[in-house]
Structure 1
Amino acid sequence: MNNLIKADNEYQQWLANLKKRIKQSQIKAAVKVNTELLELYWSIGSDIVKKQTESDWGDGIIEQLSLDLRLAFPEIKGFSSRNLWYMKKWFLFYSGENIKLHQVGAESSSKMPQFVAEIPWRHHTEIITKCKSIEEALFYIKKTLQEGWSRAILIHYIGVDLYRSQGKTISNFSSTLPSLQSELAQEMLKDPYNFDFLTLTEGYKEKELEKALTDNLTRFLLELGTGFAFVGRQVPIQVGESSYYIDMLFYHFRMKCFVVVELKTVKFEPEFAGKLNFYVTAIDRQMRDKDDNPTIGLLICKDKEDVIAEYTLADIQKPLGISAYDLNNILPETFRSSLPTIEEIEKNMKNF
């Protein structure tokens, strides 16, 4: 009888709907609990600022309050002196550090802003200790909500300064893509890209950079951002009787398009865009499906002059972006000669 029920389509649809409702209920409950906790922390932070302003208790109030609250509520975590300092800093960060006494008690500053209620407390502590402005903090709050970032991912993107790099790519998207797609494309690219997770020797070649990025694909995908899927490296395309090889090819699920990535270990030159344009055309004609949006090309160079990049892209009809990359982990060229070659390693392995 149980097997008959499990095989019934109506039962399966009902079960799927029920699972969805339960999950939504869990999310709502979690958001509600988080909101109530944040409201408590906000009120405590507000009270600490107000009491320190009104009284002569000084910073000792935080140590004493922590001790008393932990004695009164030993089963509740979150009342350490460090966390109370965070509550004070959090309140001041969004209310302004030079708040006058009458403003502290005002409704506008005593009530927690709605925009901070939807991400966890530990995300907030990272944001207020690492961000320099409310605008920057709001950027990371928004991205956390949009992308579902964990605390570790948030820390990574703050560390690589996504706030100042995202959307800064020189591109021609506004003239080659529809308005909405143009905005999404500009937002998904960065300038510069941070390749500090790589270690290369001086004088490294493009193939070495490409291989290093492929070997560290997880980190590279994290640096590219949400939505990128790796299609391949040195992807072959046949045009006429000639064969060509694309450095790296990705597909972006949010944009629903292929992204051709070409790497250059030198400063940008205008002729680089011509080859990238050619590759984008080839992917559009040979690999793009009817449901895919136009392919986008991204050229990542060691360096570039923005005005030259802008001039280069002005009359190109395919959507292209040009970015630089940072790479600080460079070993001296002499270090290369001290390393065994692949052939030497394979030869030694045969002796075991």
Structure 2
Amino acid sequence: MEIEQSLIADIKAIIQSSKEAAIRAVDHERTLMYWRVGQRIFEEEQVGKDRAEYGLYLTQLIAEQLEPEFGSGFSKRQIELFRQFYRQFPIANTLYSQLSWSQYKLLIRLDSQDKRDFYIAETVKNNWTVRQLERQINSSLWERLLLSNDRKSVLAVARSEQNPSDAKEIIKDPMYLEFLGLKRESSYYEKDLEQAIITHLHDFLLELGNGFAFVARQKRLHIEGDEFFVDLVFYNRLLQCFVIIEIKTTKLSHQDIGQLQMYVNYYDRYEKRDFENPTIGILLCADKNNAVVKISLPENNKTIIASEYKLYLPSEKQLIDEMKKEIEKLQKDE
């Protein structure tokens, strides 16, 4: 009986795998079709490039001819998207079969090739869904990582051309936790925020970044008869180290930094193995004073990171304002 059940399970797995492969193949062929339509429109534009507004005339003409027969997928807006698709991805064999047309539509709207390359590499490497890619774009993952790293380094890590050499290359500040569903105007106990993170652990791991695995919650430490409890413990296989997260729902203090430093020291002395790198500590806080953080830590500190959390995604204006403030801070530090 067990053999028969195993046989049925294997057959079901084969069927499901084949269905998924067929769906991916169909979607990739559809993506190539849109690319070829965009290529053909672009070629025609070049023939008549001396005629003013010829491109707009073409897209309108094509939509009027195709939409009645093939549906809204060939509206004027979609036709313009096909043309833009070809112009941004002019080499067919550089298109990824792992990416769906819905994902390419998100990528087309990005304003730089470096940014597109980054999100493509991250999507392929992490097997992001359309929803996950959209969330990472909306939460400005590219810009957040760039604040503490150079452009080449961010791209190299995303493409797996190099492993991160510093935790700041993959850990974000701020972290956006809108998926927890907590209201922004409310205050929460640390245990409530911790429970919400555990409930939405998959999304939290996505926000943390590449290579993270969950290890423990409220990890008990015994130190000479005293007991301490670490909020969350993770392991990062890229950094090859433990990552301890302490949650603070109030403004960060130097005492909080000292407490986290003690936990990091404990893990380095009693948990870390010889082949592993020093433990990283993250203070996930509602608010922080960067000057206090900087003065409380050694100048060559690379193991303690303070990251603010936000319970909602930023508006475009908030993002621009935040980016300006962070760039000004970096310039003052140089």
1:245 is matched with: 229
Pairs within 5 Å for 1:200-349:
200=183, 202-315=186-299, 319-328=303-312
Cα pair 1:42 1:112 within 8 Å, conserved: no
Give the Cα separation in 2 of the matches to 1:271 and 1:181.
Answer: 33
RMSD of aligned C-alpha atoms?
3.8
1:47 aligns with 2:33: no
Residue in structure 1 matched with residue 145 of structure 2 by the alignment: 166
C-alpha distance in structure 2 between counterparts of 1:155 and 1:304, whole Å: 28
Bigger Cα displacement from structure 2, 216-225 vs 190-199: 216-225
1:86 aligns with 2:85: no
TM-score, normalising length from structure 2?
0.68
Which secondary structure does the structure 1 equivalent of 2:249 belong to?
Answer: strand
Give the distance between the partners of 2:295 and 2:93, measured in 1 at CA. 44
Task: Verify the 8 A CA contact 2:236 2:242 in the aligned structure 1.
Answer: yes
- 1:306 to partner: Cα distance: 2.9
- Alpha-carbon distance, 1:50 to partner: 3.8
**Contact 2:243–2:280 under 8 Å retained in 1:** yes
Aligned equivalent of 1:142: 121
Structure 1: runs of 5+ lacking an equivalent: 1-25, 96-110, 171-179, 330-352
Deviation at 1:190, TM superposition (A): 0.2
Which of 120, 131, 134 does residue 155 from structure 1 map onto?
134
3-state SS, counterpart of residue 178 of structure 2: coil
The counterpart of 2:176, out of the listed 194, 211, 214, is 194
Deviations 1:283-328 (A, max 9, x none): 2223223443321111111122334323333347661211111124
In structure 1, the partner of 2:111 is 132
Cα deviation, residue 66, structure 1 = 3.6
Alpha-carbon displacement from aligned partner over 1:245-273 (angstroms, at most 9, x marks no partner): 00111112232221100111122223322
User: Could you tell me whether the CA contact under 8 Å between 1:169 and 1:323 is conserved in 2?
Assistant: no
Deviation, 1:242, is 0.9
CA distance in 1, matches of 2:79, 2:266: 59
Residue 165 of structure 2 is matched in structure 1 by 183
Larger-gyration structure (1/2): 1
Letter in 1 for 2:39: S
Report the AA paired with residue 135 of structure 1: D
Q: Is the 8 A contact 1:45 1:89 kept in 2?
A: no
Task: Identify the residue that residue 14 of structure 1 maps to in structure 2.
Answer: none
Distance of 1:38 and 1:310 partners within structure 2? 51
Corresponding residue for residue 61 of structure 2: 64
Normalising by structure 1, report the TM-score.
0.65
SS of the equivalent of 2:111 reads coil
Q: Call closer, same or farther: CA 1:243–1:70 in 2, change over 3 Å.
A: same
> Contact 1:169/1:322 (CA < 8 Å) preserved in 2?
no
Q: CA deviation at 1:136?
A: 2.6
Shift of the alpha carbon at 1:42?
4.6
Please give the alpha-carbon distance, in whole angstroms, between the structure 2 residues aligned to 1:313 and 1:167: 23
Percent sequence identity over aligned pairs: 27
Give, in whole Å, the separation in 1 of the partners of 2:38 and 2:58: 17
What is the CA-CA distance between 1:91 and the residue it aligns to? 4.8
Q: Is the 8 A contact 1:167 1:190 kept in 2?
A: no
User: Any idea what SS the aligned residue of 2:245 has?
Assistant: strand
